């Protein structure tokens, strides 16, 4: 079935629903794919399966609506638009079908253009990564890069060749440059931060190729870190979303900062919003243990400087010496051992 420019596999849905004996299903989709959720709900209702739509955001494979599902007593969740669970192991119940929506827009011409531009800039190899929406095009993209005279390089994430998500770029292998096939600059920016290589965005929706510029984001991160170095009080943000919940990391951060004489409180959120943060007054800086992209892309949500866990080492050392933008995407507890 094609909805807008996305293809989903109806048979996968029917087979999964039948084999799991699901009679009541909650359907979840990111805001841009809600139309697919409606189409799937109609398909299921035609087959006498009761379908409910989650009206909430579905930010990523980290954000599965278990609480909503349990509150209405459904047997199963169909989570549209993401490849699988991110940063958590799904509990046995309710069962979840992760249903990718594959874009029918062919990005080959754009990737060939990015390869030519990378070659003109001196590259001889190009790492190719995509969001799950465009992953089916990967064989054609590798051919396009090779025909431009560059070596195509790919890795994989969760068994999917070339796959990236907004907080995990482990599939980017060593190459001169990187090309990212995705809508907008969100994933391309993350890839540039993580890979520390020249990165090209190939956006199939805008039909546009552009080189990612990190200067602004680095300036904003350095400003936030230097303000946080002087802060005496910190609010640590913990998310209740299954793949964003890092309460043990938050507890460790709290202890570490308290040992350095800071006043610290942990607050739990489902959606992190400015309004909710402003209800908790009296903190000079924030540590975000939820989605790391909040601090990178939406720092305006926080009423003061916000750090991701990997950036805390600069607060602990009192200096930004040796700064790497990549630290914004690191959750490793060992970073807190600090100087
Ligand atoms: S980038 Fe954020 S929303 Fe996306 S999968 Fe990672 S934690 Fe979830």
For the chain, the domains span 2-101, 108-213, 216-337
DSSP 89: P
Distance 294 CA to ligand 1 centre (A): 9
Among 280, 121, 301, 290, residue whose Cα is nearest residue 198: 121
Among 54, 160, 156, residue whose Cα is nearest residue 100: 160
Read off the pLDDT of residues 161-183 as tens digits, 9 standing for 90 and up.
Answer: 999 999 999 999 999 999 999 99
**How would you classify the pairing of strands 102-103 and 95-99?**
unpaired
- Among 64, 86, 133, say which to mutate for ligand 1: greatest number of ligand atoms within 8 Å of CB: 86
Q: Which pLDDT score is estimated for 331? A: 77
204 Cβ inside 6 Å of ligand 1: no
86 Cβ inside 6 Å of ligand 1: yes
Task: State the average pLDDT for the chain.
Answer: 96
Q: Which pLDDT score is estimated for 333? A: 59
Distance 179 CA to ligand 1 centre (A): 20
Read off the pLDDT of residues 236-271 as tens digits, 9 standing for 90 and up.
Answer: 999 999 999 999 999 999 999 999 999 999 999 999
Q: Which pLDDT score is estimated for 63? A: 98
Distance 150 CA to ligand 1 centre (A): 31
CATH topology of domain 216-337: Rossmann fold (3.40.50)
Q: Which pLDDT score is estimated for 163? A: 98
Distance 46 CA to ligand 1 centre (A): 33
Residues found in the chain: 339
Q: Which pLDDT score is estimated for 83? A: 97
133 Cβ inside 6 Å of ligand 1: no
- Is 295's pLDDT higher than 90? yes
CA count, 13 A, side-chain hemisphere, 114 = 35
Q: Which pLDDT score is estimated for 339? A: 38
| Percent of the chain at pLDDT exceeding 90 | 97
Question: What's the CATH architecture for 108-213?
Answer: 3-Layer(aba) Sandwich (3.40)
Maximum pairwise Cα distance, the chain: 62
Q: For residues 150-164, give the mean pLDDT.
A: 97
Distance 252 CA to ligand 1 centre (A): 22
Protein residue whose Cα sits closest to atom 6 of ligand 1: 167
Q: For residues 132-161, give the mean pLDDT.
A: 98
ipTM: 0.99
Read off the pLDDT of residues 116-134 as tens digits, 9 standing for 90 and up.
Answer: 999 999 999 999 999 999 9
Protein residue whose Cα sits closest to atom 1 of ligand 1: 166
Same fold, 2-101 and 108-213: yes
Q: Which pLDDT score is estimated for 49? A: 97
Distance CA 256, CA 128 (A): 39
Token pair in block for residue 71: 């509150």
291 Cβ inside 6 Å of ligand 1: yes
Distance CA 147, CA 112 (A): 8
Q: Which atom of ligand 1 is the closest one to the Cα of 62?
A: 8
- Is 314's pLDDT higher than 50? yes
| Percent of the chain at pLDDT exceeding 70 | 98
Q: For residues 263-282, give the mean pLDDT.
A: 97
Q: For residues 174-195, give the mean pLDDT.
A: 98
- Is 67's pLDDT higher than 80? yes
Q: Which atom of ligand 1 is the closest one to the Cα of 294?
A: 2
Q: For residues 177-205, give the mean pLDDT.
A: 98
123 Cβ inside 6 Å of ligand 1: no
Instruction: Give the Å distances, CA to CA, from 91 to 26, 61, 64, 76, 238.
Output: 16, 14, 11, 12, 20
**For the CA atoms of the chain, what is the radius of gyration?**
21
- Is 226's pLDDT higher than 80? yes
Protein residue whose Cα sits closest to atom 7 of ligand 1: 291
Distance CA 185, CA 1 (A): 28
- Among 163, 270, 293, 310, say which to mutate for ligand 1: greatest number of ligand atoms within 8 Å of CB: 293
Distance 61 CA to ligand 1 centre (A): 7
Distance CA 52, CA 54 (A): 7
Name the band, by pLDDT with cuts 50, 70 and 90, for residue 332: low
Q: Which pLDDT score is estimated for 140? A: 98
- Is 112's pLDDT higher than 70? yes
Instruction: Write 166-171 long-range contacts (CB < 8 A, 24+).
Output: 166/60, 166/190, 166/291, 166/293, 167/60, 167/62, 167/86, 167/87, 167/291, 167/292, 167/293, 167/329, 168/86, 169/129, 169/194, 169/195, 169/329, 171/129
DSSP secondary structure, 260-314, as one string? TT-EEEEEEESS--HHHHHTS---SEEEE-S-THHHHH-GGGSSS-EE-GGGHHH
CATH 3.40.50.11840 for the 2-101 domain, yes or no: yes
């Amino acid at each position: 079935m094609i909805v807008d420019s996305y293809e989903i596999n109806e048979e996968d849905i029917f087979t999964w629903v039948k084999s799991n004996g699901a009679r009541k299903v909650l359907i979840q989709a990111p805001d841009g794919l809600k139309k697919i959720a409606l189409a799937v709900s109609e398909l299921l209702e035609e087959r006498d399966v009761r379908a409910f739509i989650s009206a909430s955001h579905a930010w990523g494979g980290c954000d599965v609506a278990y609480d909503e599902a349990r509150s209405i007593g459904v047997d199963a969740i169909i989570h549209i638009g993401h490849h699988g669970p991110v940063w958590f192991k799904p509990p046995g119940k309710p069962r979840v079908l992760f249903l990718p929506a594959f874009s029918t827009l062919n990005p080959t011409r754009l990737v060939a253009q990015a390869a030519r531009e990378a070659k003109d800039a001196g590259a001889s190899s190009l790492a190719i990564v995509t969001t799950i929406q465009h992953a089916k095009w990967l064989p054609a993209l590798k051919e396009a890069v090779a025909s431009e005279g560059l070596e195509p390089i790919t890795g994989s994430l969760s068994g999917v060749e070339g796959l990236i998500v907004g907080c995990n770029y482990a599939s980017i292998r060593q190459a001169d440059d990187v090309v990212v096939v995705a809508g907008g600059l969100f994933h391309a920016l993350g890839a540039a931060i993580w890979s520390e290589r020249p990165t090209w965005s190939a956006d199939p929706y805008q039909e546009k190729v552009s080189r990612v510029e990190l200067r602004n984001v680095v300036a904003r991160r350095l400003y936030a870190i230097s303000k946080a170095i002087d802060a005496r009080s910190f609010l640590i943000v913990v998310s209740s979303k299954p793949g964003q919940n890092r309460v043990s990391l938050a507890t460790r951060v709290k202890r570490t900062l308290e040992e350095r004489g800071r006043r610290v409180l942990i607050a739990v959120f489902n959606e992190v919003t400015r309004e909710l943060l402003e209800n908790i007054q009296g903190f000079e800086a924030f540590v975000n243990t939820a989605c790391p992209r909040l601090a990178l892309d939406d720092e305006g949500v926080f009423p003061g400087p916000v750090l991701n866990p990997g950036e805390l080492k600069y607060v602990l050392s009192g200096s930004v010496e040796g700064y790497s933008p990549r630290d914004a995407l690191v959750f490793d507890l060992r970073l807190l051992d600090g100087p």
